[in-house]
Each structure stands twice: as structure tokens, then as C-alpha cells.
Amino acid sequence: MKKYIIKFLYILSDDRKYLFFLALAFILTSSMDAISIGIIGPFVSLAINPNKITQNTGLNWAYQYFNLSLNQFLAYLGLLIIIIFCLKSVISFFTQFYIFRLSYRQKGKLANRLLKAYLRAPYTFHLTKNSAQIINHIVSETHIFSNGIMLAMLNLASNCIIIIILTILLCITNLVTIIAVVVSVCPVLILLYFFKHRIKNWGEKATKANQAMVEIINHSLGGIKETKIIGCEPYFEQQLVKQSTIFANVSSSLQTFSITPRIVIEMFLIVVLIGFISLYLAFNQNIQNQNVQDITSVISIFALASVRLKPAIVIAVKSMTSLRNGTYILDKLYLDLKEIENIEIADNYKYLSQENIEKLSKNDSNSVNKMMLFTDQIVLDSLNYRYPNAVQDALKDISIAISKGESIAFIGKSGTGKTTLVDVILGLLQPYKGDIQVDNNSIYSNLRNWQNLVGYIPQSIFLINETLEKNVAFGVPEDLINRQKLHQAIKAAQLEEVVENLPLGLKTIVGERGILLSGGQRQRVGIARALYHEREILVLDEATAALDNETESLITEAIRSLSGQKTMIIIAHRLTTVKHCNCIYLMEKGRIIQSGSYEEVVTAKHKFI
């Protein structure tokens, strides 16, 4: 349990400070609960026999001090009990409200914290992760943490305090009552102990089934065109039925087990209460009026305490079940946050040279605010890169210089290192040897500001299910979109005719992944996006590979129109798209084996055309 709490507090992060105030509220509420219940018995006893007031020193002093008639004193005593009950109810209400608010607010904070961690994780982390798994962590598992773990933890704490204080009250009242509580609770605790591993297993199975359902839906709808053409809808449907059946089975087992404590406790409390009265009557044949008053007082307290104690015990046991059920989720969230958020420079750049690590470590808040200027050239100096756990280098001694306004291209067969080199240039991958310099300044002294200079246009442009203008000004709130920059970018990317033909122009929603646009139109949106964000360097990674010849010529024309205005780094299989480039580099096995003009490289190496 200690490790569980440590993990819980780590995930809770800054909200831990609120737990102290909640603990005070729990103690106050529980104490008032016990006081209000504890005075019910004496009040009932006094109502039956008012003369007993003289037997209680405190009540007798109050009675003499206020100088009231006996009936008036009892009436005011009843009013005091009502006030205590009402005050206790108000405090209980606000305490529960605060618990719910803290718990559900934590879902949003934890989701944001996870998203921030995933977004800031190194690019190599995402190369090995399933997006459905990450989505499930952020959406589903944060809900389970807030509702099934945090809420359960707070409810367990508050009800344990209530149980302890009411149990003390019952001990003071009559030893029989504490025996009743122990007899009622023990079977439930024994049941919980023997089922603890099964509960954890149910929780793990439910989580995995839920994650699998997200994956299946993501795969089936993500490739809806292929799904329909191939006709594999039944496959995905069967997979979803299988996982939903597993989820239904384990969830029903969990829910059934969660109501068991209430049934067991209710049964034993009634058995003990009725049994106590029956035995008392059986062994006390000559019951006097005094005995009736005593047993009435005890039964009143026991009955009221039971009414309050039963739900407290039930909620506490249910919370323990929920905590055990959430063990798998807690461990996953803890490990994700612990591992991802601790990926700082030493982990993020495991294969980076010591020289560049030192440069990155000096990348403090002051340097982040400084703009990186590009007025002369970019130099790739002896770059070497190896993927984590790989045996061989993906890049070997890459050294080139790119002047401002130049267009260069990397060509070669698949697997020669072109995309890896681009990822290194983009700052997504860090070389273990070598450096990239802009105007004699290493990009690793200010990696974020280097990336602010670069616009990336991949083979498949990512478009969101939003308006065209929001896709061009990607990541900018609608009210902050610069209209002048937007229209300039659209014009430069040759998108004006496309906008005119759309039903709502820039306000047209382009559909998920830009399904309402053609391939060439999507590529031009990608170019417009890079231009809107005023990126001086454009990196095009197979930007025309999936296009037909006519559309390719349009995109190539849009790219050529930017020659001299923007520095362009192009990867291409279709060599006709790189004729305008100032220099072409032929790559093989992670090395540059030849460079020169289109005629010197492509024409001379006819086999690559």
C-alpha cells in the first residue's frame, strides 16, 4: 500500500497540498457526525425519563445555569441537536462537492500533463509507440484515475475516519455494539483479501480490452477506403465484438463484487441487532422501566450508528476494491510520467556528442528568446547518426554547405538514408557526431529557434477536420490569424483558384485528413502552411511522390516559383522535380557518393532516372 500511495501522490503532483485541508474537513465532519449520533441516545432516554437529567453532571449544570423548566430545557436540547445535524450536513455537502471537483479537475490536469509529456518526448519515442495506446492513456486512463482511483482514495480516507470515530462512540456506549461491527466487517475484509489478485486481474483485462477496442476502431475507420474496397468490415466487427465481450465480462464481475460488501454487512448488522435484542429479552425475564430506558438508549445509538456506519463501511470497502482494480492503470500512468517526463538532455540525446550535449545544456531561457538569424549558409559538418539499438550507422560523415536561397536535393534508392538525414536537419534526430551550423552558430545551442526557421512538407500532409484557413494557419487561434499573411501564403502556393472553387472559400471545412481536397491541393496547403508561418527554409520530403504527372507539374511549378526566395531541401524519387535545384546529392548506404548539377549527377547516372 505504501508504494501505491507514493505513486498516487507522484501522479497527483501539485494538488497534493489540498489533501491536508480535505483531511481536516473529514475529521471535522466525522466528529460532528459522532457527536450528533452520540447525543441521540441520551436525548431519547431523557425524553422517556426527564428526571435522569440530575444523573448527568454536565446536563445538570446546564439545566441549573439556564434556569429553564424541564420541558423547555429538553426542547432547547433537541433544537441544539437539530442545529448540529444541519451544520454537519452542510459541511458534509461542501466537503463532498470539493472532493468531486478536485477529483474531476485532476482528470483534465493529468490529461494535459500526459499530452505535454508525449509532445515533448523525443521523436524516437514516437517511432515505437502506438497512437491508439497514447490516446487511450490520455482519454480513458485519466478518467479511471480521477474517478476510480483518486475519488476512491478520498472516499476511503473520509469514510475510514467516520468508521473510526463511530466505532469509538459505539465502544463507549456498549461493548456489544463493537462486537457487532467487527462481526459485520470481518467477512467482507476476508472476502476482499482472497479476491485482491483477481480484482487486479479484472482491472488489467478491462483496460487492455478497452485499449484494443480503441485500436480496432482507429484501424477500421482510419483506412475506411481500403476497408470498404477489400471488404474486411466483418473482420473488424468480429474483433470489436471479441474485445467488447471481454470488457463486459470482467466489468460485470467487478460491479457484482462491488455490491457484495453492502449485502453482507447489511445482513450481519440486522442479525446482530435483532439477535442482541432477542437475547437481552430472553435472559432478562423481569425487565424494569430502568432496563427499558437503558436498552432503548443503546438501541437508539446502535441503530443510528448502524445507519451511518453501514454506508461508510460499504463505501470504504468499495473504494478499496476500486483501488485494487486501478492498480494496473496507476502503474502505467506512473511509469509513463516518470519515464517520459524524466527524458531530459541526457536521455533525449543519448547518442549525441558530448560537445553538442554541452551546447544543448546551455540552452537556457535567455537563449530561447533570442532569434536565430540565417543570412549566409547552413553547414552540415561530418554528421553521423545511429538509431537507438541499431548496429550500424544510418548516416556516415555527411558534410555539405547550403547557401541562403539555394535549392538542393537528395536522391537515391529507398533505404539510403535520405529521410534520416532530413530528420536530423529538422532537429528530430540528434547525431552522435558532427554538427549543424547556421552562420557559424550551432543549431544545438538553440534547437527550438532553429526549428522556427524550418517548414516541413511531407509526402502526406496532415490536415485537421477544420476550415481551410485553420489548416493553413495550423496551430494559430482563429482570432489571431493574420489575414494578410494568409492571403500571401495562398497566392505563393498557387491555391487562389482552389479557394475560389470551394463553396465557402477559406471557411470551407476540408474534412478529416483533408478528404474533400485532391492530393495536389493538399500538398499546396502544406506549402501555404510553411509560408504562412514564414519559414525561411523549406524541407520537402517526397512531396510529389504520390501525385499524378499533371498534379506533380503544378506542385513543381509552385516550388520553382519560390526558388531564390526560400532555401529548399528536397528529397525526391521523381527526378524531374529537382531539375531546377542548384545542387543534387546522390546517397547510398548513408553516405553522399556524388554531388553536382542535374546534368552531372542524374544524366550521368541514367539508372537512377
Give the CATH number of the domain where residue 252 resides: 1.20.1560.10
Judgement on whether residues 532 and 405 belong to the same structural domain of the protein: yes
Judgement on whether residues 223 and 310 belong to the same structural domain of the protein: yes
Name the one residue in this structure whose C-alpha cell is 448527568.
Answer: 56
Residue 5: CB atoms within 10 Å: 11
Judgement on whether residues 543 and 413 belong to the same structural domain of the protein: yes
Judgement on whether residues 311 and 391 belong to the same structural domain of the protein: no
Those residues whose C-beta lies under 8 Å from the C-beta of residue 106, and which sit 6 or more positions away, are 12, 15, 145, 146, 150
Judgement on whether residues 320 and 421 belong to the same structural domain of the protein: no
Backbone angles phi, psi at 125, to 5 degrees: -65, -45
Judgement on whether residues 165 and 249 belong to the same structural domain of the protein: yes
- Of 259, 595, 593, 275, which Cα lies nearest the Cα of 406? 595
Q: Which long-range contacts (CB under 8 A, 24 or more apart) does 66-69 make?
A: none
Those residues whose C-beta lies under 8 Å from the C-beta of residue 283, and which sit 6 or more positions away, are none
Q: Total domain count for the chain?
A: 2
Those residues whose C-beta lies under 8 Å from the C-beta of residue 360, and which sit 6 or more positions away, are 345, 349, 352, 444, 445, 447
Q: What's the DSSP call for residue 566?
A: B
Determine the pLDDT at residue 396: 92
Judgement on whether residues 593 and 497 belong to the same structural domain of the protein: yes
Which set of grid coordinates corresponds to residue 164?
Answer: 473510526
Judgement on whether residues 134 and 198 belong to the same structural domain of the protein: yes
Enclosing domain of residue 35 = 13-341
- Which CA distances in Å does 356 have to 37, 360, 368, 401? 70, 6, 16, 19
Establish if 42 belongs to a structural domain.
Answer: yes
Distance CA 576, CA 588 (A): 20
pTM for this entry: 0.61
Q: Which long-range contacts (CB under 8 A, 24 or more apart) does 269-274 make?
A: 269/180, 269/184, 269/306, 269/310, 272/179, 272/180, 272/183, 272/184, 273/180, 273/299, 273/302, 273/303, 273/306
Blockwise average pLDDT, block size 10, the chain, 609 residues: 76 73 72 67 71 73 80 82 80 78 78 79 74 76 79 78 73 63 72 76 80 77 66 80 85 75 71 69 57 57 62 76 78 76 48 49 48 84 87 90 89 86 88 89 85 82 84 84 87 82 86 78 82 82 61 64 76 76 88 86 58
Distance CA 497, CA 590 (A): 41
Establish if 349 belongs to a structural domain.
Answer: no
Determine the pLDDT at residue 579: 79
Judgement on whether residues 372 and 323 belong to the same structural domain of the protein: no
Judgement on whether residues 220 and 327 belong to the same structural domain of the protein: yes
CB 54 within 8 A of CB 37: no
Looking from the CA of 529 toward its CB, the CA atoms found within 13 Å total 25
Judgement on whether residues 372 and 483 belong to the same structural domain of the protein: yes
Judgement on whether residues 447 and 564 belong to the same structural domain of the protein: yes
Determine the pLDDT at residue 365: 42
Name the one residue in this structure whose C-alpha cell is 546522390.
Answer: 586
* Residue-by-residue DSSP string for 30-45: HHHHHHHHHTHHHHHH
